Structure 1
Amino acid sequence: MLVVRKIHGQLIEDFRADEASRRIAAALGYDRIRVYPRGSEWVRIELLIGDPLDGEVPAPLAGRGLSVSDVEITIARDELGNPLRQSWVEGPHVCIQGATRSGKSVWCYSALAQLARLDDVLIAGSDLSGLLLGRPYVGTRHHEWQATGSADVEAHRDLLVRLVAEMDTRIRNLPPRRDKFTRFHAGFPLIVVVLEEFAGLLRLASTAPVEKGQPKMREQLLALYGRLVSEGHKAGLR
């Protein structure tokens, strides 16, 4: 570790810039550096050897009998290899996006494996591919709350209708002076709603037939999705 005094007019960003940090690390004979402020005139430079993320990074599974209200899920590792954790009860809804083969599915497998192990979590949702949901959950309590495959768009719509109905029931049953649920158990689980390939489902729904006088299937799906996103948090849906 080094403690360096900045010259007049120098900012910490001057050390953190990609090219500057690479040059400093190379000049000192290290792989990377990490820079922190230290007062108004100094910076602390940590000298790093190797890449702790160069290889498999396992995600720990919570012990049996623990509650999602008391467990933090490992969602990433920082550049030092330290785990970054998030409470799924306190956290917001999550959107996963990225280029093909950038690791989205692997991240989802890791997060869902940690959550599915908890007795007070229910993994529900829609998955056109049937890879993230469906087959991995056959024979479990989660499976009946999942719609998979592209053969039956109505099954995906009906699953979202069921989730919205569950959400409405929970909201009606909120205790007085409470605006959300924060404690869960096996009979009243936190519901993790996974919408895998939702854009593909919308494309498929745009040509799906509906009964005369009913909104188009795509609009039905979007309306249900909107309700889950805007109202689900208070009801214990993520």
Structure 2
Amino acid sequence: MSSNVNVDPGEISRFEKMAATWWDPRGEMGPLHSINPPRVRYIEQCAGGLKGKKALDVGCGGGILTEALVAKGADATGIDLAEASLEVAKLHGLESGIKANYQNIPAEELARQQPESFDLVCCLEMLEHVPAPAQTIKACAQLTVPGGTVVFSTINRNPKAYALTILGAEYVMNLIPRGTHDYAKFIRPSELAQWAREAGLEVVAMKGIRYNPLLKTASLADDVDVNYLMHCRKPA
């Protein structure tokens, strides 16, 4: 892999090892299955509907979001650099009959090949896993058609987020594998908003995601203290 690709090999290795459990709602990816429905509802609202939209899922992993976008009527492509995760996504698509396109390609490279090609670009739970998140954000902006929608999600950087996401989820309740998150890579909303604006995007709104580990349910919330989504628009 080229040294100038915006990727942490350790992160790719970690997600490769978890590939087999992507579609097990009782496994390591269980929380992701719980938060996906409210994420999709928010994305659908931001995009003004998904039917007929050309959508891109950046950092798609095993395709949980990508398939959900297709199920809502979008023509969706998922990209990732973890080959094992992409294989799982492709196999699950064959089993489910939900047809999405998957590619092993960096967002930056796809932006060079297909600039301004997608009505909707989603980059969820990924920015906190790359060395240069601002670079990924810029690529997402380049990939979006003028007037198109971009939705990011990540984790806020503050003591509450550390306590819930790392101490609670990884070490106390063992909801996700230890070492999944690095607190130093968490991103404050002000930082994400600044990078989005520097990439030429308009910040429209933000919404938090609240996860209940006991009930294994999730919902949208007004507080963005921990997990949050940011809705951006590329000026027409």
Structure with the larger helix share: 2
User: Taking CA–CA contacts closer than 8 Å with sequence separation of 6 or more, which of the two structures ends up with the larger relative contact order?
Assistant: 2
TM-score between the two structures when normalised by the length of structure 2: 0.28
